[in-house]
Structure 1
Amino acid sequence: MRQSGQLIQWDDAKGYGFIQPEGGGPRLFVHVKAFGLRPRRPFVGERLSFVAGADAQGKARALKVQSLEPRPARAPAPAAAAPRPESLRGASLWLIPGFALLVLMVHLAFGLPHWLWGCYLAMSLATFIVYAGDKRAARLQQWRVSEATLHGLALACGWPGALLAQQLLRHKSSKPAFRHLFWLSVIVNLLGFVLIFTPLGTRLLSSYVSF
């Protein structure tokens, strides 16, 4: 007949311990092999069900031991790791060479004013310097550059320098409201480039004006 008891002593290194039957009586020796296959090791205080038996020398021991403890809840499957915001922000730097390639293709296909490259380079350099100065002012608690000025520089062809400064200097890169307006200025700048310097944009503008 099966009995129930509690594991009152256990040596995990040696693989044996003792069970105290619930109905009283002497404690019973139990070996780890009596537990069969189970997902967790026995532990002191565990309630067990067993069959009282004897070994080859006639000494009492517990056999066919089963746990009466509730099964531990299965750990939920790990969710797919979400992309880190930092990695996404770093990936946005590819927009700069992508835009440079776009400008080159438009130049080869339709021709562009020579001053356009210089305008983007100069404004990007100036914007980067302004970002660096604002970061230094923030560290020293000095007079700061207004966010409106930073957005204006980004809109006036300086957004590549602003994007570089945000990533390399880690400045203005974690404020959601600022970044939303920054990306809006980038979109407006790119749309302006397409509308002004490509035939498609010229046709759209002329059709809008005639309408």
Structure 2
Amino acid sequence: MVKNIVMYLVVVNLLAFACFGIDKQKAKMHQWRISEKALLGIAICGGSLGAICGMRIFHHKTKHPKFSVGLPVILLIQAVAAIIAYTMFGL
């Protein structure tokens, strides 16, 4: 079970990271963009660390408080939830 959770988190974080890079490229080329709702949704689904790394590396959405503050808050909530799950259920 733990292996499945780790695999899921790796995949969703890589996806979040890639989405920030793709959206940045599309923004530069004035093309169709990935919605902010989708970017935040991927972070909420466990990809917050990948989203933060993508935001920092690609310098994308760094001036938007929804992302510059919101993503670290999501990560903090997920970390607390993981600690609680580990202590209560041994996951």
With normalisation by structure 2, the TM-score equals 0.83
Aligned with 2:55 (options 151, 162, 166): 166
Question: Which residue does 1:14 correspond to in 2?
Answer: none
Are 2:30 and 1:151 equivalent residues in the alignment? no
**3-state SS in 1 of match to 2:62:** coil
Question: Which residue does 2:25 correspond to in 1?
Answer: 136
Are 2:81 and 1:192 equivalent residues in the alignment? yes
Task: Answer whether contact 2:9 2:46 (CA < 8 A) is retained.
Answer: yes
Task: Answer whether contact 1:151 1:185 (CA < 8 A) is retained.
Answer: no
Which stretch of the first structure deviates more once superposed, 171-180 or 139-148?
Answer: 171-180
| Letter paired with 2:22 | G
Task: Answer whether contact 2:52 2:72 (CA < 8 A) is retained.
Answer: no
The count of corresponding residues between Structure 1 and Structure 2 is 89
| Letter paired with 1:126 | L
Task: Answer whether contact 2:52 2:71 (CA < 8 A) is retained.
Answer: no
**3-state SS in 1 of match to 2:34:** coil
| Letter paired with 2:46 | C
Kindly name which structure, 1 or 2, has the bigger radius of gyration based on alpha carbons. Answer: 1
User: Can you give the 5+ residue segments of structure 1 that lack an aligned partner in the other structure?
Assistant: 1-111, 204-211
Post-superposition CA distance 1:158-183 (Å, at most 9, x none) = 11211211121111122223322222
- Structure 1 residue 123, shift from structure 2 partner: 0.7
- Structure 1 residue 134, shift from structure 2 partner: 0.6
| Letter paired with 2:15 | A
User: Can you give the 5+ residue segments of structure 2 that lack an aligned partner in the other structure?
Assistant: none
CA distance in 2 between counterparts of 1:154 and 1:168 reads 16
Structure 1 residues 141 and 189 mapped into 2: Cα distance closer, same or farther (>3 Å)? same
Question: Which residue does 1:116 correspond to in 2?
Answer: 5
Task: Answer whether contact 1:153 1:159 (CA < 8 A) is retained.
Answer: yes
Structure number with greater CO (CA < 8 Å, separation at least 6) is 2
With normalisation by structure 1, the TM-score equals 0.39
| Letter paired with 1:150 | L
Structure 1 residues 118 and 140 mapped into 2: Cα distance closer, same or farther (>3 Å)? same
Post-superposition CA distance 1:176-204 (Å, at most 9, x none) = 233222222112211221222x22xx28x
- Structure 1 residue 140, shift from structure 2 partner: 0.9
Aligned with 1:175 (options 50, 60, 64): 64
- Between Structure 1 and Structure 2, the one with more strand by share is 1
